[in-house]
């Protein structure tokens, strides 16, 4: 199938990525080449095959709800690009 400029722009908007015109065109070309190649899968008949997410049968992991210490707030905030005493700082979101 053809990857149109609109598909690239839609995927970019969903992924919170900004692309300029040259990048959009480049991505369109590269994604088209890859998606063309992916179409080879249509040659394989999977009509009666169930999709497989996990190779091992896995079940819900349950545990007792025990109180354990969590990471130190100061240490966590220390990695933030912008912070105050006890919070991450982001631009105002509600006018």
Partner 1 sequence: MNISEMTALEIGAAIKEGKLTATEAAEQVLDAAEKGNDKVNAYITICREQALKRAAEVQKKIESGELTSPLAGVPFSVKDNICTKGIKTSCASKILGDFAPVYNATVIQKLEDAGAVIIGKLNMDEFAMGSTSETSYYGAVKNPWDLNRVPGGSSGGSAAAVAGNMAAVTLGSDTGGSIRQPASYCGVTGFKPTYGTVSRYGLIAYASSLDQIGPVARDAADCAAVMDIISGKDSMDGTSLEMDYPSYLASLTGDIKGMKIGMPKECYSNSGLNAEVAGKTKAAAKVLEEAGAVVEEISLPFLDYVIPAYYIIAAAEASSNLSRFDGVKYGFRSENYSGLNDLYCASRSEGFGKEVKKRILLGTFVLSSGYYDAYYRKALKVKSVIKKQFDEIFSGYDLILCPVAPTTAPEIGKSLSDPMAMYLSDIFTVSVNIAGLPGISVPCGKDSSGMPVGVQLIGPALGDVNVLNAAFAYQQRTDYHKQFTEVQ
**Residue ranges that bind partner 1, judged by CB under 8 A:** 3, 7-8, 10-12, 14-19, 27, 30-31, 33-35, 37-44, 46, 49-56, 58, 61, 63, 71-72, 75-76, 79-82, 88, 90-91, 93
Q: State in angstroms the smallest separation of the CB of 21 from partner 1.
A: 14
Q: State in angstroms the smallest separation of the CB of 41 from partner 1.
A: 5
Burial 71-84 (b: 16+ CB within 10 A, else e): eeeeeebeeeeeee
Q: At what angle do helices 21-38 and 5-14 cross, to 10 degrees?
A: 100
| Residue closer to partner 1, measured from CB, 56 or 85 | 56
Q: Quick one: the chain helix, strand, coil %, rounded to 5? A: 40, 0, 60
Q: State in angstroms the smallest separation of the CB of 84 from partner 1.
A: 13
């Amino acid at each position: 199938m053809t990857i149109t400029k609109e598909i690239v722009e839609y995927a970019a908007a969903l992924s919170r990525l900004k692309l300029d015109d040259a990048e959009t065109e480049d991505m369109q070309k590269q994604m088209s080449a890859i998606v063309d190649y992916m179409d080879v899968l249509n040659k394989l008949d999977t009509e009666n095959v169930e999709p497989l997410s996990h190779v091992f049968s896995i079940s819900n992991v349950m545990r007792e709800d025990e109180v354990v210490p969590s990471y130190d707030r100061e240490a966590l905030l220390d990695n933030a690009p912008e912070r105050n005493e006890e919070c991450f700082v982001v631009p105002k979101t509600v006018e």
